[in-house]
A and B are shown apart, each in its own frame.
Chain A
């Protein structure tokens, strides 16, 4: 069927049936979302209803500040619903510079129209430079834009670790004095901002929070860091698929080894799972293909408050949990300030010590 130049052309392909992009597996999505939100099956029709029957799709203003667009990238990799469903059928993504057709002056017109009409879901991607002039769009400081758009939002979602606490660009010495959205907007917005940590944001979490809002017209229950408890209530360590190896004292000591192939625990390779609250082991990434630890990589803690610097030295064992030979455990996890993490750390030290004895590699410590 190919022409002599070796490349298929349109007149040929026109005869192939266009497969079509429909609302495939819509109910599957509703079911998945119900599961994510901890709702019973009885909610599935209500979710479908909330998404389908709206007379007006909820407008979304997606502002991109000091970010690398990784969270927009995450958004467009959504699967149930996919990005086309989100954009055409579920939401009205009125402003997102990466995907919008308009440019220049036509963009500014859209932004002003949204502001005038209000009642949008405000999504903020990227941290906010707090020094005047360090981050601007159309002549305005990002900080001022955030403050201008926040009051008229029906919900504010800070997506990704840059928006929640500044992320990598806020790492020492934080050259642009970048802060997270909640810090910039101040105490008046306490409890009104949903922080969706992780680098990048997990799109399943983002979609579930939006659906939850459409369904109940309120934000999910948040923890003290503004994260939805449903998703950030447990440590990665608690749900980790390698947890059994940890409990049995089986650790990877070097990448590319038999122990790694067998899926042993990555704690000794620097894994921050024992101190990171995030839903990664349950939801994974990219249509649930994989996630960091499944692929053999120690967690770098990107879902936790204070990342990056809190966990810098990604391949070093967790700070405060050192194992000085066989002389005992030196324990200073209070510096990290997380009780849950501290409890886990005691366990880790004991286990790691055990494994060191078992594998007889105590000398290296």
Chain B
């Protein structure tokens, strides 16, 4: 039995340390540890509530928009207001751009290198001049001896299965996808001013006023992204998947899924969102509704003073650093639980909830994919690493298609004189509110308490905390820890299989750890590895 520590895990956002126990060539146990911390919730205390949506965007530069929107929604809950219809749609559009950007970036630039052997692409014999050109460029790059971000990869590892031609095509699309993820972000900026850190979704709605020009620009840009996703992203995933079908059986985890839901329709009912609210328990492919009051956070294995499981509205956060000890406390992430159970969040959770709720578009996309991979009628294969990849890919298409409709809705509203984007309000003396939404990486919640027109308390329960959390008070592993169990590892010095499982969750660590004690110096004992 061998213990292996990977620190840092790269191609994620933030700093993650992973320790695994390997026995008989398989992962027997695993511990995930969030090792970097900032103090957003402390910083927010006492501030003007209207500033919170700007400040919380800086929790994460990859999904700032989701934090901003969730913050504004939680404050609108406190202020007892809602944005007008076009305000709602503009937010949907800005959020959607970020999802598309994030999913393209995740597949091609964060996880693809776990499946695509860049060096093998040099051996391909492409017929097309354009691919030959990419290969020549790659050759010149490799011959320069300066491998930059591709240095020290696990190239040549026997777990890489793609033929050279497909590796080359994937490298070509890796480069092309750099442009496409940028274009999706530029589209956010069209409505949000800039990205990262959009500027137009304060509590009340939107302060961007769309014009016919904006919409014309918007439609052509969405269409370009749609074409690319249809002709590159989806076909790439369908081409790569057959070489890694063993990953339909790897990385399942607990089989519990949570989605707060995202993209409101005019009813503002979370169950009617484009990707609706719901939970799935114990791998039973049947969604039921989710309630925020069922959320508690455990801290037995996190560096906080022990307290019973508490709902975030009454949450207590008292940092109490002790040594990194996988038998006791080993991370700054708390352990959120739903009805006491660990829950996986992310695109797979959202798509499963949509699919099992019978949402037509999700059903069509998922059934089509299962058929293309010759596993029609077996949606249970989705509860895996491959399922997470498929879910993000298909969700990208589902969202892009809806983006066209939202643009048309705005145009229709303007035509009918329903052009309001913002609802005015007065900050109440005291109130409290919850915003529940989704970041690309999964369920996101902000809780606020206002007193004397200032923020008295602010808590965030963010996607990666759900996924990367440690064991709970009952000793039950967090979702990533559990998903790693049984993962085969050919070469413990080059554990690419482990990276595949971890990356399938698209972890974002800056979000995960958000509170420290400014007074304690207990952290002195802390070592990152």
Of the candidates B35, B153, B369, the one whose C-beta lies within 8 Å of that of A101 is: B153
List of B residues within 8 angstroms of A40 by Cβ? none
Task: Determine whether the beta carbon of A136 is less than 8 Å from that of B6.
Answer: no
Task: Determine whether the beta carbon of B8 is less than 8 Å from that of A103.
Answer: yes
Whether A305 sits at the interface, judged by CB under 8 Å, is no
A173 to B209, CA, bound (A): 36
B496 nearest in chain A by CB position:
A103
Q: Tell whether A110 pairs with B152 under 8 Å between CB atoms, given A175-B42, A254-B424, A256-B421.
A: yes
Task: Determine whether the beta carbon of A176 is less than 8 Å from that of B10.
Answer: no
Whether A31 sits at the interface, judged by CB under 8 Å, is no
Whether A42 sits at the interface, judged by CB under 8 Å, is no
User: A252-291, CB under 8 A of B: which get 1 and which 0?
Assistant: 0011100011000000010000000000000011110111
Whether B463 sits at the interface, judged by CB under 8 Å, is no
Task: Determine whether the beta carbon of B527 is less than 8 Å from that of A77.
Answer: no
Task: Determine whether the beta carbon of A13 is less than 8 Å from that of B153.
Answer: no
A139 to B36, CA, bound (A): 11
Whether B401 sits at the interface, judged by CB under 8 Å, is no
Whether B266 sits at the interface, judged by CB under 8 Å, is no
A103 to B502, CA, bound (A): 12
Whether B523 sits at the interface, judged by CB under 8 Å, is yes
List of B residues within 8 angstroms of A224 by Cβ? none
Task: Determine whether the beta carbon of B205 is less than 8 Å from that of A104.
Answer: no
A261 to B86, CA, bound (A): 14
A17 to B131, CA, bound (A): 9
Closest approach, in angstroms, between the C-beta of A251 and any C-beta of chain B? 14
Of the candidates B130, B172, B179, B207, the one whose C-beta lies within 8 Å of that of A297 is: B207
Closest approach, in angstroms, between the C-beta of B529 and any C-beta of chain A? 5
Task: Determine whether the beta carbon of B14 is less than 8 Å from that of A69.
Answer: yes
Task: Determine whether the beta carbon of A5 is less than 8 Å from that of B368.
Answer: yes
Closest approach, in angstroms, between the C-beta of B484 and any C-beta of chain A? 15
Which A residues from 26 to 75 make CB contacts under 8 A with B? 56-57, 59, 66-74
A17 nearest in chain B by CB position:
B130
Q: Tell whether A100 pairs with B61 under 8 Å between CB atoms, given A12-B235, A20-B134.
A: no
Task: Determine whether the beta carbon of A313 is less than 8 Å from that of B231.
Answer: no
B185 nearest in chain A by CB position:
A77
Of the candidates B179, B191, B238, B420, the one whose C-beta lies within 8 Å of that of A82 is: B179
List of A residues within 8 angstroms of B193 by Cβ? 285, 290-297
Which one of A13, A106, A136, A255 has the highest number of Cβ atoms from chain B below 10 Å of its Cβ? A255
Closest approach, in angstroms, between the C-beta of B511 and any C-beta of chain A? 8
Of the candidates B36, B109, B169, B368, the one whose C-beta lies within 8 Å of that of A18 is: B169
Q: Tell whether A68 pairs with B60 under 8 Å between CB atoms, given A10-B238, A260-B207.
A: yes
List of B residues within 8 angstroms of A88 by Cβ? 137, 141, 148, 175
Q: Tell whether A103 pairs with B169 under 8 Å between CB atoms, given A66-B38, A168-B43, A295-B199.
A: no
Q: Tell whether A168 pairs with B194 under 8 Å between CB atoms, given A7-B234, A137-B528.
A: no
Task: Determine whether the beta carbon of B178 is less than 8 Å from that of A82.
Answer: yes
List of B residues within 8 angstroms of A21 by Cβ? 134, 172, 175-176, 178-179
A140 to B529, CA, bound (A): 9
Task: Determine whether the beta carbon of B524 is less than 8 Å from that of A133.
Answer: yes
A87 to B147, CA, bound (A): 9
- Interface 9-residue window, one of A91-99, A146-154, A242-250: A91-99
Task: Determine whether the beta carbon of B196 is less than 8 Å from that of A74.
Answer: yes
Closest approach, in angstroms, between the C-beta of A124 and any C-beta of chain B? 15
A14 to B166, CA, bound (A): 10
Q: Tell whether A8 pairs with B230 under 8 Å between CB atoms, given A101-B113, A300-B54.
A: yes
Whether B40 sits at the interface, judged by CB under 8 Å, is yes
Whether A350 sits at the interface, judged by CB under 8 Å, is no
Closest approach, in angstroms, between the C-beta of B306 and any C-beta of chain A? 22
List of A residues within 8 angstroms of B146 by Cβ? 56-57, 59, 92, 94
B44 nearest in chain A by CB position:
A171
Of the candidates B40, B84, B176, B194, the one whose C-beta lies within 8 Å of that of A286 is: B194
A329 to B236, CA, bound (A): 64
Chain A interface size range: 35 or more
- Interface 9-residue window, one of B45-53, B270-278, B283-291: B45-53
Closest approach, in angstroms, between the C-beta of B185 and any C-beta of chain A? 5
Of the candidates B149, B205, B499, the one whose C-beta lies within 8 Å of that of A87 is: B149
Task: Determine whether the beta carbon of A70 is less than 8 Å from that of B197.
Answer: yes
Closest approach, in angstroms, between the C-beta of B179 and any C-beta of chain A? 6
A79 to B38, CA, bound (A): 31
A140 nearest in chain B by CB position:
B528
Whether A220 sits at the interface, judged by CB under 8 Å, is no
Task: Determine whether the beta carbon of A100 is less than 8 Å from that of B128.
Answer: no
Task: Determine whether the beta carbon of B151 is less than 8 Å from that of A73.
Answer: no
Whether B478 sits at the interface, judged by CB under 8 Å, is no
List of B residues within 8 angstroms of A287 by Cβ? 182, 186
Which one of B10, B369, B528 has the highest number of Cβ atoms from chain A below 10 Å of its Cβ? B10
A315 to B208, CA, bound (A): 15
List of A residues within 8 angstroms of B141 by Cβ? 88-89
Whether B39 sits at the interface, judged by CB under 8 Å, is yes
Q: Tell whether A103 pairs with B6 under 8 Å between CB atoms, given A18-B131, A87-B149.
A: yes
Task: Determine whether the beta carbon of A256 is less than 8 Å from that of B39.
Answer: no
B422 nearest in chain A by CB position:
A256
Whether B5 sits at the interface, judged by CB under 8 Å, is yes
Whether A3 sits at the interface, judged by CB under 8 Å, is yes
List of B residues within 8 angstroms of A56 by Cβ? 144, 146
Q: Tell whether A102 pairs with B153 under 8 Å between CB atoms, given A18-B128, A18-B131, A69-B62.
A: yes
Task: Determine whether the beta carbon of A101 is less than 8 Å from that of B6.
Answer: no
List of B residues within 8 angstroms of A12 by Cβ? 235
Whether A134 sits at the interface, judged by CB under 8 Å, is yes
B424 nearest in chain A by CB position:
A254
List of A residues within 8 angstroms of B420 by Cβ? 256
Whether B364 sits at the interface, judged by CB under 8 Å, is yes
Of the candidates B38, B153, B178, the one whose C-beta lies within 8 Å of that of A175 is: B38
Whether A169 sits at the interface, judged by CB under 8 Å, is yes
Whether B518 sits at the interface, judged by CB under 8 Å, is yes
A277 to B145, CA, bound (A): 41
Of the candidates B8, B61, B166, the one whose C-beta lies within 8 Å of that of A67 is: B61
List of B residues within 8 angstroms of A359 by Cβ? none
A293 to B185, CA, bound (A): 18
Whether B249 sits at the interface, judged by CB under 8 Å, is no
Closest approach, in angstroms, between the C-beta of B209 and any C-beta of chain A? 5
List of B residues within 8 angstroms of A134 by Cβ? 37, 516, 523
Task: Determine whether the beta carbon of B152 is less than 8 Å from that of A109.
Answer: yes
Whether A6 sits at the interface, judged by CB under 8 Å, is yes
Closest approach, in angstroms, between the C-beta of A183 and any C-beta of chain B? 18
User: B408-434, CB under 8 A of A: which get 1 and which 0?
Assistant: 000000000000111010000000000
Of the candidates B15, B51, B166, the one whose C-beta lies within 8 Å of that of A137 is: B15
Whether B215 sits at the interface, judged by CB under 8 Å, is no
12 CB < 8 A contacts A-B? A7-B235, A68-B62, A69-B14, A91-B148, A93-B148, A99-B109, A103-B11, A105-B493, A107-B152, A134-B37, A135-B37, A292-B199
Known: A13-B231, A18-B169, A176-B516. 15 other contacts (CB 8 A): A20-B131, A20-B133, A21-B176, A21-B179, A68-B60, A77-B181, A77-B182, A104-B9, A105-B6, A107-B10, A176-B518, A255-B207, A261-B209, A300-B199, A302-B197
